[in-house]
Amino acid sequence: MSENPLLPHRRLKELHALMLRCNEFDRRHKDSPAREALLAAATIHLQPGDLLSGEGIDATVEALAPLPRPNATATGKSMGKPKGDLRLPKGSRLTLCAAAALGLQTAGSDGMVMALATAGSAEAGWAAALEYAHLARLPLLLVCSDTTAGRPARKGASALNWQTVSKLAKKLHFPVLSVDGEDAVAVYRVVQESAIRARVGDGPAVIWSVLTPKGAKQSRSMQPIARMESYLAARGLFPAKPAKKPRS
């Protein structure tokens, strides 16, 4: 099968290897959702000098953080004030992510900031941070994993949920992209497009990744790594399973 120039065979193999690595880390936490496709397909787009922010202490995310860019220097561009009169709350993780993205932009870097979050969690100041990033065209991607299965979301200004994010996106006209978070190829393509936009100055995006709810049963063939290996096998990049011989 011919290669897709946006996702060549070499890159597919790298993605599969990174999924296996993420899965190995996450196996230490039995209650962790199947997020290897989401983590691998999102973070594979990070480059040296980019920044990755996870929630609390997360050994898997720490292992995926990109290396600093060697010999990086600022260009001396003056710092411009973002449009709008917004006051970002202190102590907010996403505020710090927006500030870091502003720093990269001001330095004339093509770097970006990727923040990982969980639907239903309390993220103080997330709306103000996204609005700030949108008005300033900051290179910020918010990648949110959703295992709520459509259950009623937590209410409150700090709650990060589909309803409130969609409402803000509609008001400000910034992209919110919903994707199957257990389909590595689908996540790869969505994050690839969003990362390109962010790096050229088109502003932030939210990638909303739907995962299997905790405790829900899932057949092996539908698990992220098995799905990826079936995709690779269809392209001759992974040994296909031998067909079962019929009983005599």
pLDDT digit string (tens) for 112-132?
999 999 998 888 889 999 999
Is position 196 within any domain?
A: yes
Q: Quick one: which of 190, 165, 196 has its CA closest to 177?
A: 190
Question: Which CATH number covers residue 185?
Answer: 3.40.50.970
Is position 13 within any domain?
A: yes
pLDDT at position 245: 53
Is position 207 within any domain?
A: yes
Residues of the chain with pLDDT under 70: 1-2, 28-31, 70-91, 152-155, 240-248
Is position 228 within any domain?
A: yes
Amino acid in the structure at residue 65: A
Is position 75 within any domain?
A: no
Is position 103 within any domain?
A: yes
- Please tell me the total count of domains within the chain: 1
pTM over 0.95? The answer is: no
> Phi/psi class of residue 11: alpha, beta or left (left: φ > 0; alpha: ψ in -120 to 50)?
alpha
Cα 110 to its chain centre, rounded Å, is: 18
Domain containing 168: what range?
9-66+87-234
Is position 2 within any domain?
A: no
pLDDT at position 115: 96
pLDDT at position 29: 66
- As a whole number of angstroms, the distance between CA 198 and CA 204 comes to 6
Is position 192 within any domain?
A: yes
- As a whole number of angstroms, the distance between CA 102 and CA 108 comes to 10
